[in-house]
Structure 1
Amino acid sequence: MSRTSRSVATALVVLILVAALGFVYASPYIALNRVKRAADARDAQTVNEYVDFPALRASLKDQVAALLTRRIDIQKSGNPLAIIGAMIGAALVGPLVDSYATPDGVAAILNGIPPRGDPGERPPPQANNGTSANPAASSSNAPSSGVATAQQPPREPPQTTAGYRDLNTFVVTYQHGAGDARYSAIFRRYGLVSWKLAAVDLNG
């Protein structure tokens, strides 16, 4: 093999390696794009490929329970009726989790509409407003919760950031405004280039 041929072969191998590494690095962004599009379209079969529902359900249960516990602690010295309302909400954690561990719920989470722990809350049935699934773009003008906040005016789309937390964890963080609470959708690696939504962090 001539020197020129060896140089071409080496350059080709380097290009293939760089392309492969680029695809591996971009794989969670691709997964985010695909699962968001599928959830917005209520394509349950595709959503199932990109969501670890048992892990997401467990995470939602823990996060919502912790949210309600904090709410009860804050309201202990306040209005007794508010405390009763929070306790009723705690009893409804199961149904709330069940409603969010669905394509509708995934669409809401990925469109900046997380569960807030309100009694009777359900994800809005039409979370998508037709915007891009780009992780740097926002995706919803819908109300920020279900039944309990149905009369609230639409909020501005959230600011969204996405990136690796570590080699096997990819986090998408949403925040509607500088003074608003943040929350995160957490993707975990399942194989070399496969990623699934597996958890939420309602504390950002």
Structure 2
Amino acid sequence: MSRQIFSQRTNRRLVALAVGTAATIYGGSPIFALADCGLALAQGNGSKVSSYIDFPALRSSLKGEARQVALYRLSGQQQPGANPLLGLANLVMGPVVDAAVESLATPDGIRARVSQQADQNPRAADSPWGLAQLLASTSMGYSSPNRFVVRLKDRQQRPLALTLARQGLVGWMLVAIDLPPDGRFEPS
């Protein structure tokens, strides 16, 4: 009898341990993805960084953001609707901005940018956890069960938000970037 009770307790503990482990992996999966992507970025591995990006979704997001930045810079105002000529500027600039996003937000574009960044900062690969300084001005969390948002601030306190979407049970991909109004972001 005592052997049966011991076996039931052990089984309950094992089930609780398995459920707890699964919940931790499921809930923490965006952090694991960010860490892996950050390590790939620090090592200059553009192919791996690209594997964490949903390019059609990212391009769609960036087109709207880039148009807003272009209008902001053109007008010097945060409210593009304040000047009726900005609508005309948007019509003229829109296709140019969209074409630029289409050519830059590609796997080849990301690989080239990551490689260029690694060449400019070769010591980054020596300390992949050098992201700690950047993460000090970062907040992150779930915005829904399948969306995770990372909010960063640069040295001027300008915001940048990265939105990741769940892919399967534990996979995550970058689907949107919300730029500061002026489009500038200078990490500390």
Per-residue CA shift, 1:48-87, capped at 9, x if unaligned? 33111111111111111111122223379xxxxxxx9xx8
Instruction: State the 1:124 CA deviation.
Output: 8.7
1:126 is aligned with what amino acid? Answer: Q
Q: 1:51–1:198: 8 Å Cα contact kept in structure 2?
A: yes
Question: Do the aligned partners of residues 159 and 136 (structure 1) sit closer, same or farther apart at CA in structure 2, a change above 3 Å counting?
Answer: same
- Please, what TM-score do these two structures have when normalized by structure 2? 0.69
Tell me what 2:14 maps to.
12
1:68 is aligned with what amino acid? Answer: A
2:178 maps to 1:201: yes
Instruction: State the 1:106 CA deviation.
Output: 8.2
Tell me what 2:186 maps to.
none
The unaligned stretches of length 5 or more in structure 2 are: 81-88, 182-188
Equivalent residue in structure 2 for 1:163, among 141, 145, 151: 141
Does 1 or 2 have the higher relative contact order (CA < 8 Å, sep 6+)? 2
Tell me what 1:91 maps to.
96
Structure ID, larger Rg: 2
Percent of pairs with identical residues: 28
Three-state SS of the structure 1 residue aligned to 2:117 is: coil
Equivalent residue in structure 1 for 2:23, among 6, 21, 24: 21
- Please, what TM-score do these two structures have when normalized by structure 1? 0.64
Instruction: State the 1:180 CA deviation.
Output: 2.8
Question: Do the aligned partners of residues 28 and 49 (structure 1) sit closer, same or farther apart at CA in structure 2, a change above 3 Å counting?
Answer: same
Q: What value does the CA root-mean-square deviation take over the aligned residues?
A: 3.5
Tell me what 2:83 maps to.
none
CA distance in 2, matches of 1:201, 1:5: 53
2:131 maps to 1:138: no
Q: Choose between structure 1 and 2: higher helix proportion.
A: 2
Tell me what 2:116 maps to.
125
2:36 is aligned with what amino acid? Answer: R
Q: 1:42–1:104: 8 Å Cα contact kept in structure 2?
A: no
The unaligned stretches of length 5 or more in structure 1 are: 77-83, 109-122, 140-157
Structural mapping, 1:1-204, within 5 Å: 2-74=4-76, 91-96=96-101, 98-102=103-107, 105=110, 125-126=116-117, 130=124, 131-133=127-129, 137-138=133-134, 159-177=137-155, 179-203=156-180
